[in-house]
Structure 1
């Protein structure tokens, strides 16, 4: 799970935003990211129609506070998540992720700006697959036909989709997005092995977008805090089981945020929905 490389985390005295951030996502094919997505069909969703804090009108607002990371930015997160590995306590898990977002990444708003590539990847993937389903783009239609003629496995088809959307990559954000897309499609197949990736419903596409965001958030935790977990003197199986619980928690929160932003009976562009779901989820993490 996650990215293949972890670090000790970015230190104090550095900017929350790396110098490449403005260019992150440039290699992702966003041609279908503004494809509209229908509102949720789940009657349990909150259908008050209110817009989330993460909507595009808030996206342009610069995050408040200093752009420079404070000393010990991940110290509390490391301590809480180390405690979670030891105890399995849900409160330790929530405190760890909350501190990771609030102090480690500068708060929900700054974290949303920092992780903008997550929303780009999710909306690009969702829009591409909706366009493939609806057969509205001749070039995509021809590409899908070529994939089907090759008789690829579900796993290899997923790899082809991701490669089509991110052919080069480069920055850590784009590499993480590639992993997140691939893992999200694999998770969708785990949930429903009979899934036809080129004939998804809007609800399935929304789930896939949520999984993409969730895996990218998880990748970020692994990237910044991974070495802490690697140094723990616990059985590798226990550490992996606990990290699986971290991922499950992140998926649940992001799924709920996706359901929330799709409520209200209004069709919206996938780019807006992905941004809103990411920012709403980060707010939930920070406040937990």
Structure 2
């Protein structure tokens, strides 16, 4: 899985944050991103939290520092991931993703700022589905009733949800968010075949938000590193297996960060939880 197209990645000297970034999430209906989510169980402390320091900034605030990417920004990441494809070594995988975040995207804080649309997409999806479940918005109630009356399949319903939240898209970030939402809902159905998209529990919504962020991070790795996997002369089955391992690694880290962000004694806005989870996950990736 991934975005609809890959590229050779951003080159040396390109700005870390493109000029259109501030408007990248404008095409996402984020009206429900502030809906609160109940606290979850407190996860075990794995030492990866970012309680203090620069990496705990709000991802929507671009961090201070050089605005231009350094020479060979992705060279180490490509080399490590090439080694990972050959060997299947988890250390090569972690080293490649770490370099991607630290050097390729300018560190975890800048990466979180660059990927802010991921948090917007996750929190918008979570807030919308929580509102649909609770029946607290008449306009959404009417829309849900119309979907149910059409007798759509689970896959078709997922597409309708994504289309409602991102009706137009257009930017690379919004297209990635669209794919990530779609894949996240599909993954939820794989894990829980009997899940009712309009009657999800808070735990299921948390998982769905984590899947959305994870798929977006995974998409970003493929998009920015270009065709590092496709150019290697290995059997397609091996390449797909390695890509699956990358996704599994990203999923584990993001899910843990999402659970950590949700833990606590009081409900928090989904946007706040998604921002914190994205920042924490990228910090874990950078330090791995």
TM range (shorter): over 0.9
Q: Displacement, 1:56? A: 8.5
Q: Structure 2: 5+ residue runs without aligned partners?
A: none
Q: Residue 109 of structure 1 corresponds to which residue in structure 2? A: 109
Matching of residues 150-189 of structure 1 within 5 Å: 150-189=150-189
Deviation, structure 1 residue 263: 1.1
The unaligned stretches of length 5 or more in structure 1 are: none
Q: Deviations over 1:130-172 (max 9, x none)?
A: 0000000000000000000111111000000000000000100
Q: How does 1:1-288 map to 2 (within 5 A)?
A: 1-41=1-41, 58-59=58-59, 61-288=61-288
Aligned-pair CA distance for 1:51:
6.1
> Structure 2-normalised TM-score?
0.95
* Deviation per residue, 1:20-43 (Å, 9 max, x gap): 101001010011000000011467
Per-residue CA distance 1:231-288 (angstroms, 9 max, x = gap): 1010011001000000000000000001111112221000000000000000000000
TM-score (norm 1): 0.95
List 4+ stretches of structure 1 deviating above 3 A: 41-46, 49-62
Tell me how far apart the structure 2 counterparts of residues 134 and 90 of structure 1 sit (CA, whole Å).
42
Give the distance between the partners of 1:151 and 1:54, measured in 2 at CA: 50
Asked if 1 retains the 8 angstrom alpha-carbon contact of 2:210 and 2:255, the reply is yes
CA contact (8 A) 1:122 1:210 kept: yes
* Alpha-carbon contact 2:77-2:95 (below 8 Å) kept: yes
> Which range is displaced more, 255-264 or 104-113?
255-264
